[in-house]
Amino acid sequence: MWTPTTREQHSRTAARYETDLTDAEWAILAPHMPPPSGRGRPRDWTFREIVNGVFYVLRGGIPWRLMPSDLPPWPTVYRWFAAWRDSGLFETINHALVMTDRERVGREASPSAAILDSQSVKTTESGGPRGYDAGKSAPRRRASPMEEGSIRRVVD
């Protein structure tokens, strides 16, 4: 629920774009950024500006070449995005955020169980009995009660 306190915490009055990071958001992401290499040219852009550029492109769904000129150049932003994607940085940040959020609400950092819930699964043409699910675009094989019970036993 939005209260005056939460509105102030999430306010973006000084941001150029809605996708720009607030100081609090950057404080969470900054420790995960790679350290300076100490070689090559000094960086013209901060990692915060590069992350702002990545968020602008991904949230807006625009091509990299259409980035505004007040953000870092698109080849720079894309090069860092690709490097972070390939190194697994986004997965690391996501994992840390999930663990922090779970602890915030009083749960253990890592889940102890998972629930898989599917009444129909994709299968080959030679699969078993087939049914039709109007919400799906293709015929699916119905999971039998035996299979459903097996999944529940594994989870329990």
Helix (H, G, I), strand (E, B) or coil at 110: coil
- The pTM is what? 0.62
Does residue 1 lie within any of the structural domains?
no
Domain that holds residue 51: 16-34+43-104
Does residue 115 lie within any of the structural domains?
no
Same domain, 77 and 143: no
Same domain, 27 and 53: yes
* Per-residue pLDDT reduced to its tens digit, 48-92: 999 999 999 999 999 999 999 889 999 999 999 999 999 999 999
148-155: list long-range contacts, CB under 8 Å, 24+ apart. 151/116, 155/113, 155/114, 155/115, 155/116
Does residue 125 lie within any of the structural domains?
yes
Q: How far apart are CA 154 and CA 156, in angstroms?
A: 6
* Per-residue pLDDT reduced to its tens digit, 87-134: 999 999 999 888 888 888 888 888 777 777 666 556 566 655 555 555
Same domain, 57 and 95: yes
- For the chain, how many structural domains are there in total? 2
